[in-house]
A and B are shown apart, each in its own frame.
Chain A
């Protein structure tokens, strides 16, 4: 392959690709994101390839694997172009019918369509599905459209044109001005203005500079970075190349969680292809600018999401943060000026260069521009990846896009920002989601986890869960974080175990504020958020644990017992057979009884009971 040296060559390549590709040719797109893959989509694409071959249709129809479509709940997801017919929960045995009916004859396989549970209506096209309707997918726009392992797919949808434009028609200052004017902020959660960061890095003294793409998404319950890296790796590379050119860096690093093998693979393929086409390497677009990107696999430490810890990890050291009186933009990797952005931030850059700063600045709220990506998970009907305009109310995301609460239960709280974030109660559901509003509510944007909790969730237990995570992940360098989180965890654990004392709650509050004020890095500073927000909005739950020794949600094991309802138990014996402790007694067809002394509250009996006769109290 000849390297692309000018914007004209890129344009010519794109045109020839578009000419070769008939837009009316039927094309099957199968989602091979991690969610669909876990549900067997690899077999589905295999079945399509076999069936197309078997029927000798290779010339008439196309099939391709794509990254995450976002609607993980209904995976494996298959979309049939050109009409964009949307099939869900597709199994390999459905494939022959899809090929002969839909691909060849344009007819629909009714049973595979999505049914809106709210209205009972079937939807034919992807864009009609309520889950997608209220989204504004721009960073994720091409996720389900292109084959992430084929650079030509990216070029065909306009890929690398922003790079061509930036390098050949804009000065470094103009690029930074554009990014600054767009209002783009760090989408890893910090929300620092991207343009300002770039400017600081450009101005920093020194000839050797670095750029880093942060793909070390460590928040439990967040997978937006992973989906983007898997589905559209070139968009991240393109942003990084533009950024490196603007700040004056010649070497870039992508720091990616080792737990994301598919993202690592796709990024490496993308880097190799970009090099082959001349978008990476020497003299990019004949500008004299040289740039390369290396991938670093993260070691699995949450704290490495913090910039100075991440930098230490790339240097081969323990991921311990340092005090940031000198910022990484001045002294970062190997003490050189380093510009670090989240992969979503990098992927936003080509959009801004292509469409202009004003276009981007029009989207969103006054201070938070553009879109936000959330992994909508937990007790919600439509688990998936959601991209919305900044300022979209929480209610709209959870109910209109997410389809409401699982099993018709009552909403209790939504947690954003992962372990660093807080829990937002029902009365704030109208809150427009942006950096400022979430922080005011005691939470934060974070890396985009949005975890929905229902009435069966114990908020004290949630606080304990996050503290447990954070005390494990605390690097141990500074005392407030290392010791403070541990002590908070002890207090909250005591509370959930029924050993809590009235005065503990004051102490917990004080401790939380101390850890927040005096910790060295972002991990410690934000660690108390879950405690503070649950104390603020759900204090009565703490109080019933402490005063009444009761867990209202029926979660905390030491405060509940399993009990069989006399009027519902038929004496079928299903629970008795499965109880691992032989704690259940009863004659066939007579009431069964649980011996609380033997019961370990594993819940197996309740799962097994066909009559919902077993409750916790």
Chain B
């Protein structure tokens, strides 16, 4: 199955760039995650085979670290900071508002693969607390009311594209 499939050869290139080094497992998975925004099943199996690392360990690492996701994620990643500074200034209410507006829970993706919500613990931009990031863009001093406006803007841009 591998060999000719272009997706497999992309992963091949990554593994080769780390010289099939077993200790580079995390770095390899990070690059695959960057490529697909999540870790597809087939890629995990393939890495396990190519590195000669048992699937249990590959899966262990993939499910241990927050940087990895085992299901596909949306086009727009919405990160709501739940770091202590943001939390004290009401970011839990901001997260609830995002969940309510999009009809999904933290960690989930909308069925149309447009939005994913991910709460994070501190982005280090505490002066902007509570902070929310859509894609790469920071929105500061968030409130549940502002959430609706920000999401409308993102959705509006989306329809134009």
Which residues of A does B touch, CB under 8 Å?
34-35, 38-39, 72-73, 75, 218-223, 226-227, 258-260, 296-302, 313-319, 375, 377-379, 383-384, 415, 418, 449, 451, 453, 457, 465, 469, 475, 578, 580, 602-604, 607-608
- Which B residues lie within 8 Å of A223 (CB)? 122, 124-126
Contact A469–B24 (Cβ < 8 Å) = no
Contact A73–B127 (Cβ < 8 Å) = yes
In the bound assembly, the distance between CA atoms of A384 and B24 in angstroms comes to: 36
In the bound assembly, the distance between CA atoms of A465 and B82 in angstroms comes to: 9
In the bound assembly, the distance between CA atoms of A107 and B124 in angstroms comes to: 35
**Of A316, A453, A607, which is within 8 A of B144 by CB?**
A607
User: Distance in Å from the Cβ of A402 to the closest Cβ of chain B?
Assistant: 12
Per-residue CB contact flags for chain B residues 46-62 toward chain A (1 = under 8 Å, else 0) read 00000000000100110
Of residues 76 to 121 in B, which have CB atoms within 8 Å of A's CB atoms? 82-85, 87-90, 93, 96-97, 100, 120-121
Contact A221–B120 (Cβ < 8 Å) = no
Contact A603–B144 (Cβ < 8 Å) = yes
- Which A residues lie within 8 Å of B30 (CB)? 258, 297, 299
- Which B residues lie within 8 Å of A384 (CB)? 127
User: Distance in Å from the Cβ of A319 to the closest Cβ of chain B?
Assistant: 7
24 A–B pairs (Cβ distance < 8 Å), ordered by A: A38-B131, A39-B128, A220-B82, A221-B84, A226-B124, A258-B30, A296-B27, A297-B27, A302-B121, A316-B26, A317-B25, A319-B65, A377-B84, A377-B85, A378-B88, A379-B88, A379-B89, A383-B127, A457-B88, A465-B84, A475-B64, A602-B97, A602-B100, A602-B144
Contact B127–A222 (Cβ < 8 Å) = no
- Which A residues lie within 8 Å of B22 (CB)? 316
Q: How many residues of B contact A (CB 8 A)?
A: 43
Chain B contact residues: helix, strand, loop or mixed:
helix
Cross-chain pair count, CB within 8 angstroms:
138
In the bound assembly, the distance between CA atoms of A190 and B113 in angstroms comes to: 44
In the bound assembly, the distance between CA atoms of A240 and B156 in angstroms comes to: 50
**Of B65, B84, B89, B143, which is within 8 A of A301 by CB?**
B65
User: Distance in Å from the Cβ of A394 to the closest Cβ of chain B?
Assistant: 17
Given A220-B84, A578-B145, A604-B144, A72-B64 contact (CB < 8 Å): no
In the bound assembly, the distance between CA atoms of A261 and B90 in angstroms comes to: 26
In the bound assembly, the distance between CA atoms of A603 and B60 in angstroms comes to: 40
Query: Could you say which of B61, B121, B127 has the most chain A C-beta atoms within 10 Å of its C-beta?
Result: B127
User: Distance in Å from the Cβ of B52 to the closest Cβ of chain A?
Assistant: 13
Contact B64–A319 (Cβ < 8 Å) = yes
**Interface presence of B140 (CB below 8 A):** yes
Given A34-B123, A220-B122, A223-B122, A318-B85 contact (CB < 8 Å): no
Given A378-B84, A383-B127, A299-B64 contact (CB < 8 Å): yes
- Which B residues lie within 8 Å of A297 (CB)? 26-27, 30, 67
**Interface presence of B41 (CB below 8 A):** no
**Interface presence of B36 (CB below 8 A):** no
Contact A602–B64 (Cβ < 8 Å) = no
- Which B residues lie within 8 Å of A314 (CB)? 23
Contact B126–A317 (Cβ < 8 Å) = no
Q: Closest residue of chain B to A449, judged by CB?
A: B84
User: Distance in Å from the Cβ of A229 to the closest Cβ of chain B?
Assistant: 11
Q: Closest residue of chain B to A419, judged by CB?
A: B84
In the bound assembly, the distance between CA atoms of A39 and B131 in angstroms comes to: 11
Given A299-B30, A453-B88, A317-B61 contact (CB < 8 Å): yes
Contact B64–A301 (Cβ < 8 Å) = yes
- Which A residues lie within 8 Å of B23 (CB)? 314-316
Contact A301–B66 (Cβ < 8 Å) = yes
- Which B residues lie within 8 Å of A34 (CB)? 123-125
**Interface presence of B38 (CB below 8 A):** no
**Interface presence of B15 (CB below 8 A):** no
In the bound assembly, the distance between CA atoms of A451 and B145 in angstroms comes to: 26
Contact B26–A72 (Cβ < 8 Å) = no
Q: Return the 5 tightest CB-CB contacts between A and B, nearest first.
A: A299-B65, A223-B124, A300-B66, A72-B127, A221-B84
**Interface presence of B68 (CB below 8 A):** yes
In the bound assembly, the distance between CA atoms of A38 and B140 in angstroms comes to: 8
In the bound assembly, the distance between CA atoms of A315 and B84 in angstroms comes to: 31
